[in-house]
């Protein structure tokens, strides 16, 4: 039970960082797709 309580705060701390990374990666992918569409068109 103690181990679970210790892991919960760690997970909460990592969540915001992972969300930021996901947003950055998503934005980079979108820019690449736009560049491909613009280059082809």
CA angle 33, 28, 39 (to 5 degrees): 30
Q: What is the pTM of this model?
A: 0.48
* Nearest alpha-carbon partner for 28 in 40, 36, 3: 36
| pLDDT for res 18 | 83
Res 13: pLDDT: 67
How many Å apart are CA 38 and CA 40, to the nearest integer? 6
Cβ-based neighbour number of residue 32 at 10 Å: 10
Long-range CB contacts (within 8 A, 24+) of 32-40: none
Between 33 and 40, residue with greater pLDDT:
33
Over the stretch 1-39, which tens digit does the pLDDT of each residue have? 566 666 666 666 667 778 888 899 999 999 999 999 887
């Amino acid at each position: 039970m103690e181990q679970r309580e210790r892991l919960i705060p760690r997970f909460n701390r990592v969540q915001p960082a992972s969300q930021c990374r996901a947003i950055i990666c998503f934005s980079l992918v979108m820019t690449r797709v736009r560049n491909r569409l613009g280059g082809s068109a």
